[in-house]
């Protein structure tokens, strides 16, 4: 991946709605800002039960968004990342519908995981309670076949997302076909969505077990053979994340958003500094994503090992987000609004910090100076606010942070002082040569941090005081040195 800021966006929510529109935006108002664009699921259909993460046909572009030729055209303007949804397929897809119609006689029968296929000799209570799942309850749904029989189908996420046996001949062929299609379309990087859940083994957590690493390594080699890099999306305990990062190409730094927010809220930069000292260097850094603001990544392990933040600090963090958002995030979080991810707070990052522009830009500056490659969500790029109208319309918690922009809204947002300052930070991060060098961090005082990058005589330093809520960037220039404050 290019060591430049990335954009992650839905094709139909940043523009008037197609790949051609997105290309016009990238080649026009956003020209030169991003090294890579991650286009969130654009497959058929892109607007299913889980906003595209449950496609009926993963090898087809939804015709409402364009064609594979349009995807290839965008890839000529900017490096392009796409999601390979590893763990599951849509319940409405042809393969699973064939299984429901024909049962074990279906050509696709081996492709789908059931209670019986994973536990042919039955399961103990310990076997079942050991299974890790990001939602309450067990990962099974009872479904009726056309012949009147019933099966317990493995569904890690929702009943509309049917887990597949990635080790079966049909499952492997299915994933291979997607990789081939992606490569043909000029996609240079893939994100393995829900990859940590791909392997099920009796007596284990069925999450990031040794067999999962073997599978990921094999899938990664197949992608690389087709000229694509691989990003693995996993929420996990921070020490586990460090170990995972050693075995894959690239991971997300999901601990960074809550740690920066903790520093903004409390003036205590120590947990953030401790994390940046040990965080994976092969990471994509984020503040906001198409999902919520996670807290599981800074929490304690289930075995009792302490997290990056104490439980009371996490509780206060969440409550402060709700308070600063004037309670709007609370309406989309926890058991509210058909929310599925109980360990995340649903809100834009800007609203979660109380729409404080200086604080927001400081948060972005820390993200851009953190080890890794920064990725900016389209809502965050434009300083988006919680979309309560969309939330009320869909009753889906995550939609509070998934606004549909029209082109004129984008242009208007780009002209605001805060977004203009953010774009200045993006260009600085993309262009200064120091970011191709080495990273160091020091903490002069509890509320302060200094992050420095150095490369071949060039350097850039970010100095932040969370007590005074002030930040400054100093750096080398062709003529000597420069300095500018981080503010609107």
pLDDT tens sequence across 352-384? 999 999 999 999 999 999 999 999 999 999 999
The per-type count for the chain, helices as H runs and strands as E runs, is: 17, 21
Annotated binding-site ranges for substrate: 50, 191-193, 233, 290-291, 341-344, 398
Provide the β-strand partners of residue 483: 474
Give the SS3 label for residue 440. Answer: strand
Provide the β-strand partners of residue 189: 81, 229
Mean pLDDT of 398-417: 94
- Whether 124 shows a pLDDT value over 70: the answer reads yes
Tokens of 423: 């774009």
Q: Give the model's pLDDT for residue 292.
A: 86
Classify each residue of 281-294 as buried b or exposed e, where b means 16 or more C-beta atoms within 10 Å of its C-beta.
ebbbbbbbbbbbbb
User: Domain 94-163, CATH 3.50.30.40 — does that match?
Assistant: no
Q: What distance in Å separates the CA atoms of residue 337 and residue 247, rounded to the nearest whole number?
A: 37
pLDDT classification of 302: cutoffs 50, 70, 90: confident
Among 276, 285, 299, 226, which residue's Cα sits nearest to residue 250? Answer: 285
The per-residue pLDDT for range 221-270, each reduced to its tens digit, is 999 999 999 999 888 889 988 988 988 889 999 999 999 999 999 999 99
Q: Give the model's pLDDT for residue 336.
A: 62
All residues at 6 or more sequence positions from 355 whose CB lies less than 8 Å from its CB, including other chains = 385
Mean pLDDT of 151-164: 94
User: What 8-state DSSP symbol labels residue 207?
Assistant: S
pLDDT classification of 116: cutoffs 50, 70, 90: very high
- Whether 335 shows a pLDDT value over 90: the answer reads no
pLDDT classification of 294: cutoffs 50, 70, 90: confident
pLDDT classification of 303: cutoffs 50, 70, 90: confident
Q: What is the mean pLDDT of the chain?
A: 94
pLDDT classification of 163: cutoffs 50, 70, 90: very high
Q: Are strands 283-285 and 251-253 parallel, antiparallel or unpaired?
A: parallel
Q: Give the model's pLDDT for residue 340.
A: 52
All residues at 6 or more sequence positions from 399 whose CB lies less than 8 Å from its CB, including other chains = 332, 387, 390, 391, 393
Tokens of 355: 């729409």
As annotated, the active-site residues are 193, 233
Annotated binding-site ranges for sucrose: 88
Q: Give the model's pLDDT for residue 248.
A: 84
Q: What distance in Å separates the CA atoms of residue 465 and residue 40, rounded to the nearest whole number?
A: 35
Q: What distance in Å separates the CA atoms of residue 99 and residue 482, rounded to the nearest whole number?
A: 65
User: Domain 6-86+169-436, CATH 3.20.20.80 — does that match?
Assistant: yes
Annotated binding-site ranges: 50, 88, 191-193, 233, 290-291, 341-344, 398
Domain ranges of the chain: 6-86+169-436, 94-163, 438-485
Does residue 288 contact residue 349 with C-beta atoms inside 8 Å?
A: yes
């Amino acid at each position: 991946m290019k060591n430049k800021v990335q954009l992650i966006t839905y094709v139909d929510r940043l523009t008037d709605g197609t790949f051609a529109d997105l290309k016009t935006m990238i080649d026009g108002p956003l020209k030169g800002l991003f090294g890579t664009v991650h286009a969130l699921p654009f497959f058929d259909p892109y607007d299913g039960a889980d906003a595209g993460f449950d496609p009926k046909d993963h090898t087809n572009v939804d015709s409402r968004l364009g064609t594979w030729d349009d995807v290839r055209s965008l890839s000529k303007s900017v490096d392009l990342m796409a999601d390979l949804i590893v763990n599951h397929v849509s319940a409405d897809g042809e393969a699973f519908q064939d299984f429901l119609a024909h049962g074990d006689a279906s050509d696709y029968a081996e492709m789908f995981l059931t209670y019986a296929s994973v536990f042919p000799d039955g399961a103990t209570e310990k076997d079942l309670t050991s299974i890790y799942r990001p939602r309450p309850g067990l990962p099974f749904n009872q479904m009726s076949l056309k012949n009147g029989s019933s099966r317990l189908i493995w569904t890690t996420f929702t009943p509309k997302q049917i887990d597949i046996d990635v080790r079966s001949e049909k499952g492997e062929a299915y994933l291979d076909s997607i990789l081939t299609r992606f490569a043909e379309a000029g996609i240079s990087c893939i994100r393995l969505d829900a990859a940590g859940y791909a392997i099920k083994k009796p007596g284990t957590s069925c999450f990031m077990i040794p067999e999962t690493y073997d599978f990921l390594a094999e899938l990664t080699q197949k992608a690389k053979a087709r000229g694509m890099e691989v990003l693995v999306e996993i929420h996990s305990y921070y020490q586990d994340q460090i170990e995972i990062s050693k075995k894959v190409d690239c991971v997300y730094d999901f601990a960074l958003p809550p740690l920066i927010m903790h520093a903004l809220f409390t003036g205590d930069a120590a947990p953030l500094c401790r994390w940046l000292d040990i965080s994976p260097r092969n990471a994509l850094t984020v503040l906001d994503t198409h999902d919520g603001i996670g807290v599981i990544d800074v929490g304690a392990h289930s075995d009792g090992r302490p997290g990056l933040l104490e439980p009371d600090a996490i509780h206060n963090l969440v409550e402060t987000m709700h308070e600063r958002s004037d309670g709007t995030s609370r309406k989309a979080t926890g058991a509210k609004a058909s929310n599925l991810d109980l360990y995340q707070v649903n809100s834009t990052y800007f609203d979660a910090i109380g729409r404080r522009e200086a604080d927001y830009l400081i948060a972005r500056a820390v993200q851009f100076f953190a080890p890794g490659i920064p990725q900016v969500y389209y809502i965050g790029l434009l300083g988006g606010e919680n979309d309560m109208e969309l939330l009320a319309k869909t009753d889906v918690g995550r939609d509070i942070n998934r606004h549909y922009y029209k082109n004129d809204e984008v242009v208007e947002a780009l002209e605001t002082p805060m977004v203009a300052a953010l774009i200045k930070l993006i260009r600085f991060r993309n262009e200064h040569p120091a970011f191709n060098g080495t990273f160091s961090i020091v903490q002069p005082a509890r509320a302060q941090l200094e992050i420095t990058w150095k490369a071949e005589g060039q350097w850039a330093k970010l100095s932040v005081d969370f007590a005074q809520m002030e930040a400054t960037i100093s750096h080398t220039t062709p003529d000597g040195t420069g300095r500018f404050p981080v503010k609107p």
